[in-house]
Amino acid sequence: MKDWLRAFASVFAAFLGVQSEENRERDFQQGRFSVFVVAGIALTLGFLLTVYVLVKVVMSFV
Amino acid sequence: MTKAITLALSLLAVPAWADWQVNMNEGVTAISREVFDLHMLIFWICVAIGIAVFGVMFYSIFKFRKSKGAVAEHWHENTTVEVLWTVIPFVILIGMAVPATATLMDMYDTSEADVDIQITGYQWKWRYQYLDEDIDFFSNLSTPREEIMNAQAKNANYLLEVDNPLVIPANKKVRFLITANDVIHSWWVPHFAVKKDAIPGFINESWVKVEEPGVYRGQCTELCGKDHGFMPVVVEVKSEEDYAKWVADQKAMKLAMAGEASKQFSMDELLAKGEGVYQATCAGCHQLNGQGIPGAFPAITGSSIATGSIDGHIDIVVNGKAGTAMQAFKEQLSAVDIAAVVTYQRNALGNSVGDMVQPSAIQK
Ligand SMILES: [Cu+2]
């Protein structure tokens, strides 16, 4: 469970473009590749959905 | 010395100083003022950011200079600062996107227009078709060749004047459907804050509602070939009554032109008319003297088509030649104009075939 939380946090940091050296080393030593892939895809979908909903909401004011 | 004084005095006398305007103009529509306000808002945000960033930078450079014994700090990572300088610009950008989106949505709202006009870009002229009125004409540059060739002083609207301006009514929503016939052009009138690409096969929409009657000028703003700088846009905004009168005049003119086409013309009449048509419509490529531009546009003087069978000559003018810059002129010119220009090309510019064609014989 902790693995997953950490993976999501790291992927989120990657989206922002900022990550600490300490976390990076931890991820590369203990992290599992598949967990990062799933977290990456999930957050990408989440981002797309956010943009989509945002546009829908804004357009509803037209 | 006297030279320097004269120069200095003449610089002082230049009246253009008074017209110096560096900022973009506010324009004459609600949308153009909205765009202007948005531009100023974002400009001042940029100024504030610039002052803050460069202020901190110059202060640090001065305060912590080496001669005062400052020693550089050697740290590598500071996640908090990095997150801050990522999140702050993000928030600023989103903040700027809010008013920008509101303006864009207004600009794209082409619904419920009172007048619909199709605008088509051609090399190198604009065509205006009033979709509800059966009015359809081309708008060509009208600046005299002498001014372009520096043989005459240039007038104030040099390269910003046309024979037939686009005419629209004031205080009405006018929708433009913008496309092109050959290559990509772009229709731009700064005072309307309208700048839209004209793309063959696509229709881009835009609209204006101008409050004050007047004449507004613009240009083609997408590099479109040799005469890209010679296809200006001129829009005449008329009061509602004047516009209605103009529409009626256009229709009367169209009827009169249809009558002309069945008239018989003399050789002299055709030559005189043809010279005008040639200079306005053909000389841009085939040149005033008929010599063309070798490698690009063939000479009319001595051309095997212009001195050969008259049917072939008429055909290339009416239907153009596919795949070349020689376009079909049947849409652009009346039967009278085509008969005149063909007769002119055969009997002027160094040619003397001796025959002529009547407008009634032009099959469009
Ligand atoms: Cu153009």
Residue of B nearest to A13 (CA): B83
Determine the residue type at B130. Y
The verdict on A62 touching B (C-beta cutoff 8 Å) is: yes
Task: Give, for A30, the enclosing helix (H) or strand (E).
Answer: helix A21-30
All domains of chain B in start order, with CATH: 30-68+76-107 (1.10.287.90), 115-258 (2.60.40.420), 263-361 (1.10.760.10)
pLDDT at B6 over 60: no
Alpha-carbon gap: B84 to the closest alpha carbon of chain A (Å): 10
pLDDT at B8 over 60: no
The pLDDT value given to residue B258: 79
Joined tokens for residue B261: 């086409």
Judging contacts by C-beta atoms under 8 Å, the chain A residues touching residue B87 are 16
DSSP A61: T
Cα–Cα distance for residue pair B332/B128, rounded to 1 Å: 11
Taking the centre of ligand 1 as the mean of its atom positions, its distance from the CA of residue B305, in whole angstroms, is: 29
Taking the centre of ligand 1 as the mean of its atom positions, its distance from the CA of residue B225, in whole angstroms, is: 7
Q: Where are the beta strands (DSSP E) in B173-293?
A: 174-180, 185-189, 194-198, 204-208, 214-220, 233-238
Flag if A62 and B77 touch (Cβ within 8 Å): no
Across B228-249, average pLDDT: 95
Joined tokens for residue B46: 């940029």
Q: Starting from the edge strand earliest in sequence, which strands make up the sheet with B115-122, in order? A: B135-139, B125-130, B115-122, B174-180, B204-208
**ipTM of this predicted structure:** 0.84
> What torsion, rounded to 10 degrees, do the Cα atoms B276, B296, B182, B180 define?
-50
Taking the centre of ligand 1 as the mean of its atom positions, its distance from the CA of residue B121, in whole angstroms, is: 6
pLDDT at B2 over 90: no
Q: pLDDT for B273-315, tens place per residue?
A: 999 999 888 998 999 999 999 999 999 999 999 999 999 999 9
Residues of chain B above pLDDT 70, percent: 95
Q: What's the pLDDT band for B13 if we cut at 50, 70, 90?
A: very low
Alpha-carbon gap: A1 to the closest alpha carbon of chain B (Å): 25
The pLDDT value given to residue B183: 93
Model's pTM, two decimal places?
0.73
Cα–Cα distance for residue pair A47/A40, rounded to 1 Å: 11
The pLDDT value given to residue B256: 83
CA distances from B230 to B71, B126, B284 (A): 62, 11, 10
